[in-house]
Structure 1
Amino acid sequence: MDTERLWEILYKERNTATLQELPRNFCAEVREYLKRLEEERREAERGETERGEAERENADERRRGLVEDELRNARMKVEDIIRRRVGKIVKLASSGVSVRTPSKGMLEEERAIFEGVKSHVEAGRERIFALISGAGGGEEEVKRGGKKREAAEVASPEVASPDPPTRDKKGKKDEEESEEESKEEFQVVRALEDLPTFMGIDGRIYKVKKEDVLTLPKTNAEILCNRGVAVRLRGRGRVERKGETETKTEK
């Protein structure tokens, strides 16, 4: 697992209504990736401590900053992937559609969420219909059903009944966020040295060599300039993002 692979997974989840099939060892791969970044950050911190004041102000400090940026971006991407997938699972389980076998794209942990939500929704639906039709003892049947649900909740407390659907509001919010993401302020910078591959806040992968002139999101441009690995050039504005590219480089 790396930054580029993580972004590919998130991009597919954002742009499809169905669950994407993840690698069977997805969780283990992400865990190892984050652990590796943590170790790199600690190594850079140790280098800063061991070097003298004059020596440490350059390489190790810049390296630590870049690793911290990648670690922060990776965690944000993982959280976004999980949030979107759980939302799809809850929607599928509570839709009322007869789905006996969960999607093959689900992880084992996600299947447990699906089964738990589905059983709660079906039990609740049956109690409501029983109350309306007066079948099975009316309110007494509802009380018995409530006791069964409480027992189920004790057995699996981590699975909660889904909130009432708010698809319209959520859909509108996602659309606004997508439009906001598509327009970001960019700045033109020149790299003063080779840089490790990193992911910008726009989700693009940047591979930068010394003397490259490229357009970066303002936040990333300011970070590089403040660390002394790039200088800002004239030329800034708002750039429409039409697709995914690895770098935007001009010679």
Structure 2
Amino acid sequence: MNLDELRSVQSKERSKDSLQHLRESFYADVADYIADLKDQRDQAADRAESPFDDPEVNRLTDEIHTAEDVVEAVYERRVGKIVKRASLAAAGMPADEEGLTGEEQELFTELVERIESNKEDVLDILSGEADDVGASPTSAPGDSATADSAPDPAGPSDAGAAPDPGDAPTASASASSEDVSAADVMGGDDGATDAVSAAANTDSPTPDSTPPSGESDADGARPATAEAAAVADADAEQSAERESEASESDSDPLDGLDERTTVRLTDDVGEIFGVDERTYDLASEDVVTLPEANAEPLVERGAAEKLE
């Protein structure tokens, strides 16, 4: 083995799509060749006064690096071809196993087996025969402990929790019942009974309740009849405003468009958009009949004069 043989193998591998035949011991022979070069370099370095500047040491070092690079390139080129050949063999197509080194034969066999095994796994999944298809996930070891250690919502841990706002009426009713019972026990004291009634009314106010007609509420507001009259007056005013707006909206915004005025332009006005939804291009000395709403402003600012 020498560097020229390595370069020849590399050139032939690059020029062919198929694998060239190599002896089974090719990579081992290259390893022996590189090891021999290193031994020669060590001996040359021992003989040299300055190993780093010795020509023989440098030559051997360059040859070692070149041999390593060439054999690596050869292997990478051949691996791609081996993978392709293994995929054909796994698909049941004929694949030539001749010409592979010992290391490459081992790689080829493993690739074929791995591809075939993976294919079987995929087909089993597709057919629903795989073991993991439809399997329910198992509970983690700590799940049962976590479930057992969860506090009971109705247990003692809720003793100090804030009461639910929805329970307030019940609490008020209970308090009222207790107060009434206490009043009964006290022998029906009128003052106590009145106090209990007031407490019950305070705990459960009725939002929609209104004071009787002619009476003022606790805050000294106007009687209900006066409030009703004020609301009726406001409704009447709003109804009148809506009728007025409807009346104005029913009027034709184009009323008076038939009134037109003939004018002579005394200035270049340019293009205007008339109230009759027409466009007029007005230049000096033009005589044109315009809607009165457009003609009047022109006359007022001296840009036009009326013609009888």
Q: Normalising to structure 1: TM-score of the pair?
A: 0.47
**Greater strand content:** 1
Q: Tell me: higher relative CO, structure 1 or 2? Use CA pairs within 8 A at least 6 residues apart.
A: 1
Q: TM-score, normalised by structure 2?
A: 0.39
